[in-house]
């Protein structure tokens, strides 16, 4: 996702200025850097809490087939997320509103994701849980995709390394916090879902309010081409071997990671013998 710069043009590195525009730019960029770790934590916290609680819920609903049912949930959720994020990204690029291109999707996305979390807490069947998990993941992808686009939109190239680091710290922190929260509410799953949803909603709305977009209603909009969108899912490994190697490496790394993470609870219970 790409878009026009939403902040005033940054001062050149090494050039000292005291203009009001430069001060405003620095203040906005400072707020963005200070708050992005918390915003980046929101989608990951939602994913983590669904992954932790759904394993417990499925085990309660169908203990004999828990592995297969949890695998089904992970596959459906992953497939829906794989389609949702790039599609929402394309739509976000073409969104024109008083709140800008990203904020409307971030607000709707986080609200949708939180509704999915609360619904998951009330699920009484695997079908209900699966539906709620898909809703929550699609919602948090609608938040996370436009959030990622803020970097090319607003952050100058020489500051993007620091910005990416701060965003990554938020993601890692949420990955650690999710299981801790899940363990604390393992016997009160509905309450745990609701508290996490409230926390995510509060942080997300605060981030959008503190870091507002510019009104882009008069900006030109490129037409949407479904064929062009479909072609973005394929990059020739022959023409772009570096990309192919990076993709393969990330695929194997993430595949191995999630093979263990997704079934961690069942491995600990069934093979290590802990409760």
Indicate the pTM of the whole model. 0.84
Torsion of CA 201, 4, 152, 140, to 10 degrees: 30
Spatial separation of the C-alpha atoms in residues 247 and 206, rounded to whole Å: 34
pLDDT in tens, 80-115: 998 898 889 888 988 999 999 999 999 999 999 999
State how far the Cα of 260 lies from the Cα of 243, in Å rounded to an integer: 26
Distances (CA, A) of 272 to 62, 131, 264, 275: 21, 31, 11, 9
pLDDT digits (tens, 9 = 90+) for 180-198: 898 899 999 999 999 999 9
- pLDDT of 233 reads 82
Question: CA-to-CA distance for 272 and 275, rounded, in angstroms?
Answer: 9
- Convert the pLDDT of each residue in 123-178 to its tens digit: 999 999 999 999 999 999 999 999 999 999 899 999 999 999 999 999 999 988 98
Interior/surface letters 37-65, b for 16+ CB within 10 angstroms, e for the rest: bbbbbbbbbbbbbbbbbbbbbbbebeeee
- Boundaries of every domain in the chain: 28-216, 237-275
Exposed, middle or buried: residue 180 (CB in 10 Å: 0-12, 13-18, 19+)?
exposed
pLDDT value of residue 264: 87
27-57: per-residue pLDDT in tens?
Answer: 889 999 999 999 999 999 999 999 999 999 9
- Identify the pLDDT of residue 260: 87
Q: Output the pLDDT for position 4.
A: 41
Query: Any idea which residue has 């064929």 for tokens?
Result: 227
3-state SS assignment for residue 19: coil
CATH, range 28-216 = 1.20.1250.20
The pLDDT score that the predictor gives to residue 170 is 94
**Backbone angle region of 13, left / alpha / beta, with phi > 0 → left and psi within -120 to 50 → alpha:** beta
Burial 186-217 (b: 16+ CB within 10 A, else e): eeebeebbbbbbebbbebbeebbeebebbebe
């Amino acid at each position: 996702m790409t878009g026009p710069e939403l902040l005033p043009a940054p001062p050149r590195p090494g050039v000292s200025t005291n203009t009001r525009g430069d001060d405003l730019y620095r203040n906005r960029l400072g707020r963005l850097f200070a708050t992005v770790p918390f915003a980046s934590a929101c989608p990951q916290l939602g994913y983590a809490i669904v992954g932790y609680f759904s394993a417990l819920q499925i085990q309660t609903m169908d203990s004999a087939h828990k592995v297969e049912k949890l695998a089904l949930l992970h596959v459906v959720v992953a497939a829906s997320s794989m389609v949702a994020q790039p599609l929402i990204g394309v739509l976000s690029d073409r969104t024109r509103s008083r709140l800008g291109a990203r904020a409307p999707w971030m607000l709707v996305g986080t609200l949708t994701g939180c509704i999915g979390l609360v619904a998951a807490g009330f699920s009484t069947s695997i079908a209900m849980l699966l539906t709620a998990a898909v809703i929550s993941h699609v919602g948090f992808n609608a938040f996370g995709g436009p959030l990622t686009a803020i970097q090319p939109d607003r952050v100058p190239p020489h500051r993007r390394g620091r910005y990416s680091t701060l965003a990554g710290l938020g993601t890692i922190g949420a990955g650690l916090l999710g299981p801790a929260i899940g363990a604390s509410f393992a016997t009160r799953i509905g309450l745990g879902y609701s508290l996490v949803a409230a926390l995510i909603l509060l942080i997300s709305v605060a981030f959008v309010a503190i870091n507002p977009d510019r009104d882009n209603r008069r900006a030109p909009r490129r037409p949407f081409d479904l064929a062009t969108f479909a072609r973005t899912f394929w990059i020739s490994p022959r023409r772009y071997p570096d990309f192919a190697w990076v993709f393969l490496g990330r695929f194997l790394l993430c595949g191995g990671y999630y093979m263990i993470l997704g079934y961690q609870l069942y491995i600990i219970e069934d093979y290590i013998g802990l409760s």
